[in-house]
Amino acid sequence: MNEIDNPQHIAALNSFLYYLKVEKGMAANSVESYRSDLEDFLRYYPQPLSDYNATDIVSYFVTLQSIGLVNTSLARKRVAIKQFFLYLNRQDMDINVDFDKVPKIKISRHLPDFLTVEEMFKLLDSLPQENPLQIRNKVMMELLYASGLRISELLGITIHDIIWNDKVILIRGKGSKQRYVPILDNVLSIVENYQDNVRPILLRNKKNDFLFLNKLGNKMSRMGFWKMLQEAVLNSGLKKDITPHTFRHSFATHLLEAGVNLRIVQTLLGHSSLNTTQIYTHVDTKYLVETHRLYHPRA
């Protein structure tokens, strides 16, 4: 994982963390949470500390929210960033962040549109694999969670889009945008088994390049996936409203909570930044693959 490399940021962050640990007596795991939250923010906006303002922080939170981070996590990050800049201000640094202009994060009482890691594993591990359709269902949901795809992107994958040697899938996203998404080794294995041994059974001698097919050998539909998902949720015993987008939000939330750089998660999701049209410049594909494999809970 990339560390911050700005000497001013490093010095200020270390001073603040020392203050939390020694002067405030904060527990080690709490200090580490502060470190993770602040490093991610400082990496996202690498500029002199005196240049930060409320707009930068609001834009950062809007971006986090738009890719699925839940309000409880956003509220924690707001506290960390606020306390950091308040500390710097008390150290007589030239700080220009007015937190009165940074809206407080309301903690929703509704069930968030994501699953915990344990809930996701419970759902995925409860899926039966006794017939071709069940095997297909398992592969689709594992791939949806492992790669953070939109349901339209998942259903649009063809047999030509998987680059086996590089362990990535070519995804055609919104607005004709394309991106390569890493695929975990264990998921790649079940996708390969499905394509080689199960898909031919579903194809029924038809000509169709789409990877995921229904029982008639046609492209799997959104409604077909929805019905399959609701049955799987019911059988798993989970008492939550789960949609295909829940997988995408869970993917983003779990990686961000594990400490993955926000820009990496944005790149994996194919999500456009609200702040700049060139937010993903020079992201190395090999580093992307290694980071995804290292931090994804299912790896």
Catalytic site residues? 150, 174, 245, 248, 271, 280
Residue 89 CB contacts under 8 Å (≥ 6 apart), including other chains: 95
Measured between alpha carbons, how far is 18 from 82 in angstroms, rounded to an integer? 17
The closest alpha carbon to 286, from 276, 278, 294, 297, belongs to 294
For 141, 169, 229, 248, the CA distances from 289, given in Å and listed in that order, are 20, 11, 28, 18
CB of 170 within 8 A of CB of 178?
yes
For 55, 105, 135, 232, 252, the CA distances from 124, given in Å and listed in that order, are 40, 31, 12, 9, 17
Does an H or E element contain 171, and which? strand 168-172
Q: How many beta carbons lie within 10 A of that of residue 16, not counting itself? A: 22
The closest alpha carbon to 118, from 266, 250, 18, 273, belongs to 250
Sign of CA dihedral 51, 107, 19, 92: positive
Query: How open is the CA angle 239-265-254, to the nearest 5 degrees?
Result: 30
Measured between alpha carbons, how far is 251 from 142 in angstroms, rounded to an integer? 11
